[in-house]
Amino acid sequence: MRNPDSKLLNRANVVEVISSWKQQGLRIVFTNGCFDILHEGHVRYLNEASRLGDRLLIGLNGDASVTRLKGPERPINPQESRAYVLAGLECVDAVILFDEDTPLQLIQLLEPEVLVKGGDWAVQQIVGSEFVIQKGGQVFSLPFYNGFSTSSIEAKIKNKS
């Protein structure tokens, strides 16, 4: 397994890495999310997503983005920690942070062949789906695993304290 640090990309090197993969004929799968408290549903979903191509790239919402989307008490874990945990998964090939509310700019920059979200998103609702389809790519909404959510874990922890 590669060192997780080697999987952490930034805006300066992400284009180079993705271009290299594409030159090798590798199919890039992109997904995104906050991944605040990693749980079984996330891991199942990421493993499924990775099987849709050759390299799985995760666009990770930065701390400011998570706070805007989820509220002032989130994220629970800082972006560097969330990125490192994701990069430690064997199915994940790269992680890049983004601070916008959506990953649309990142998707347009990287032009992945496959765009994936969890089943709580219809394909038409997935940010970047129209762009990826216009470029000849595919968009998938993978099955949602009931019973697993960061919000439910957070609530359980709060109720125990």
CATH code, domain carrying 38: 3.40.50.620
Quote the pLDDT of residue 119.
Answer: 76
Query: What's the number of domains the chain is made of?
Result: 1
Tell if the pTM clears 0.75, that is, is over it: yes
- 52 burial type by CB count under 10 A (0-12 exposed, 13-18 middle, 19+ buried): middle
Contact indicator for 139, 53 with CB cutoff of 8 Å: no
Quote the pLDDT of residue 145.
Answer: 62
Quote the pLDDT of residue 2.
Answer: 82
Quote the pLDDT of residue 66.
Answer: 96
Structural domain for 28, as ranges: 4-160
**In whole angstroms, what is the distance from residue 161 CA to residue 157 CA?**
7
Ordered strands of the 28-33 beta sheet: 8-9, 94-98, 55-61, 28-33, 114-118, 138-142
The answer to whether the peptide bond before residue 103 is cis (omega within 30 degrees of 0) is no
Averaged pLDDT in 10-residue chunks for the chain of 161 residues: 91 95 98 93 94 98 96 94 98 98 97 92 91 97 70 62 58
Quote the pLDDT of residue 157.
Answer: 62
Quote the pLDDT of residue 24.
Answer: 98
